[in-house]
């Protein structure tokens, strides 16, 4: 409830003054030497309720003052205008990503750590704020690049897509086609506006504007497969005004767990990150390169990207007001009518 003219309540200070003036002006038309005998006779119900007309008049005055203050009912309306970022996550799932990395006190494969931290990056966690207003998609690659998750605003469907990303199982499919994966992600982002229009129409969402387009590449190796080189893909992304952030995962000596008919065995593994190429790809598109040797370092990189690429949400808040003084004024009128009726009939005085 909102009051447009609160200063009107100052009129309530005049109510006690009016009561005092009315009481001071009262006096009997016929004087008696003593009312002792009348007091012994007792008071009738009409006499005991003699204060009622005065009470109704005070109530009417209070109601009129409230009406003069113009109470209003306000309904707050909020309209959000979103300007988000289209993000394609490009994840290496080659055999070298089976190397172990510690996450939350447990040993996990690099790929599993990448998926968990990426989920926190999108949905939010204690450290990361989440990306609720961004288009998110995913491309996974080994020897071949595949679209795992199309660009979408429906982040609730992210978990099943992440579960489908597994380490390559067949030797002939193993490899690292960074260039092809980047080119596929860039092509998806180039069509992002068209994809967004379809989702807005299907889901009934309000207008949405893509502020920028970003690729985040995570790999622990060097390009050794595919038709395009990483630098060719970077040139394509730069032509389309797409920024690429590159992250080198692990690298160097590590341990991987393999399953055999005789049980699980840990074997040493080694991967070489082509940091020179990853830096060149990032610089060619205006992005940055970072090395993440641990899950903590990977979260730090995501936190840095989170600060660099923030969505904008402009909230327009306004109030719709509806005048509510009419009810108070009508109530005051009814009380005055009741008070007048009581004075003229039930509590009529002579003279």
CA–CA dist 145, 55 (Å, integer): 85
Instruction: Give this prediction's pTM.
Output: 0.61
12 domain residue, yes or no: yes
Q: Is the residue at 31 inside a domain? A: no
Mark whether 335 and 244 lie in a shared domain.
no
At 56, give phi and psi (nearest 5°).
-65, -35
Q: Which residues contact 212 (CB under 8 A, 6 or more apart)?
A: 85, 86, 243, 309
Structural domain includes residue 215: yes
pLDDT for 88 equals 92
The pLDDT value recorded for residue 285 is 92
What backbone phi and psi angles, to 5 degrees, belong to 215? -115, 135
Identify whether residues 295 and 332 lie together within a single domain.
no
Say how far apart CA 256 and CA 240 lie, in whole Å. 39
Domain check: are 148 and 280 in the same one? yes
CA distances from 126 to 84, 120, 299, 303 (A): 22, 9, 11, 11
Positive or negative, the Cα torsion across 276, 277, 281, 282? negative
Return per-residue pLDDT of the chain as tens, 351 residues: 678 788 888 888 888 887 777 766 555 556 666 667 666 666 667 767 777 888 888 888 888 888 888 888 766 555 454 667 888 999 998 888 888 777 777 888 888 888 888 888 888 877 777 887 788 899 999 999 999 988 887 787 788 888 888 888 888 888 899 999 999 999 999 887 776 666 555 555 555 677 889 999 998 888 988 899 999 999 999 999 999 999 988 765 555 555 555 555 555 555 678 889 999 999 999 999 998 887 888 888 888 888 877 655 444 454 556 788 888 889 888 988 888 888 887 777 665
Is the domain of 181 the same as that of 254?
Answer: yes
Claim to verify: residue 54 and residue 148 sit in the same structural domain: no
Measured distance CA(102)–CA(108) in Å, rounded = 6
Separation CA 166–CA 161 (nearest Å): 10
d(CA 11, CA 17): 11
Residue 190 shares a structural domain with residue 333: no
Q: Are residues 107 and 136 in the same domain?
A: yes
Query: Does the bond joining 189 to the residue before it have cis omega, within 30 degrees of 0?
Result: no
pLDDT at 39: 66
Same domain for 139 and 52?
no
Is there a single domain that holds both residue 143 and residue 219? yes
Q: Which domain holds residue 133?
A: 78-315
Give 227-240 as a DSSP string.
Answer: SS-HHHHHHHHHHT
Q: What is the pLDDT of residue 278?
A: 92
Same-domain check for residues 331 and 236: no
Nearest to 309 by CA among 245, 249, 233, 248: 245
CATH number at residue 296: 3.40.50.410
Q: Domain for residue 232, yes or no?
A: yes
Q: Which two tokens stand for residue 134?
A: 């961004």
Looking at the domain assignment, is residue 7 inside a domain? yes
Domain count, the chain: 2
Report if residue 36 sits inside a domain. Answer: no
pLDDT at 26: 58
Q: Which of 288, 285, 290 is nearest to 273 (CA)?
A: 290
Whether residue 34 lies inside any domain: the answer is: no
CA atoms 1, 72, 336, 338: torsion sign: negative
Q: State whether 238 and 254 are in the same domain.
A: yes
In a domain? residue 108: yes
Do both 179 and 302 map to the same domain? yes
Rounded to an integer, what distance in angstroms lies between the CA atom of residue 13 and that of residue 71?
A: 19
19, 62 contact by CB (below 8 A):
no
């Amino acid at each position: 409830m909102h009051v447009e003219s609160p200063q009107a309540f100052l009129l309530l200070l005049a109510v006690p003054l009016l009561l005092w003036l009315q009481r001071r002006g009262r006096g009997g038309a016929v004087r008696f030497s003593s009312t002792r005998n009348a007091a012994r006779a007792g008071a009738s119900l009409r006499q005991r309720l003699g204060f009622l007309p005065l009470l109704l008049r005070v109530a009417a005055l209070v109601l009129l003052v409230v009406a003069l203050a113009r109470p209003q009912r306000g309904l707050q309306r909020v309209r959000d205008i979103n300007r988000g970022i289209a993000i394609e996550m490009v994840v290496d799932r080659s055999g070298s990503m089976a190397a172990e990395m510690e996450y939350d006190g447990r040993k996990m494969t690099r790929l599993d750590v990448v998926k968990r931290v990426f989920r926190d990056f999108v949905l939010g966690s204690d450290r990361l704020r989440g990306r609720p207003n961004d288009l998110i998609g995913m491309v996974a690659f080994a020897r071949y690049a595949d679209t795992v998750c199309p660009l979408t605003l429906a982040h609730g469907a992210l978990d099943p897509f992440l579960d489908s990303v597994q380490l390559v199982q067949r030797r002939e499919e193993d490899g690292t086609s960074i260039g092809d994966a980047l080119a596929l992600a860039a092509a998806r982002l180039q069509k992002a506006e068209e994809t967004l229009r379809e989702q807005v129409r299907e889901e009934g969402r309000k207008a949405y504007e893509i502020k920028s387009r970003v690729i985040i590449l995570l790999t622990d190796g060097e390009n050794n497969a595919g038709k395009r080189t990483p630098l060719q893909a970077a040139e394509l992304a730069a032509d389309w005004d797409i920024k690429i952030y590159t992250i080198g995962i692990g690298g160097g000596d590590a341990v991987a767990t393999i399953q055999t008919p005789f049980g699980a065995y840990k074997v040493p593994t080694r991967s070489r990150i082509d940091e020179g190429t990853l830096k060149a790809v990032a610089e060619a598109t205006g992005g940055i390169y970072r090395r993440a040797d641990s899950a903590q370092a990977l979260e730090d990189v995501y936190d840095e990207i989170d600060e660099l690429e923030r969505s904008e949400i402009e909230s327009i808040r306004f109030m719709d007001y509806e005048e509510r003084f009419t009810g108070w004024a009508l109530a005051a009128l009814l009380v005055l009518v009741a008070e007048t009726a009581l004075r003229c009939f039930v509590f009529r005085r002579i003279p």
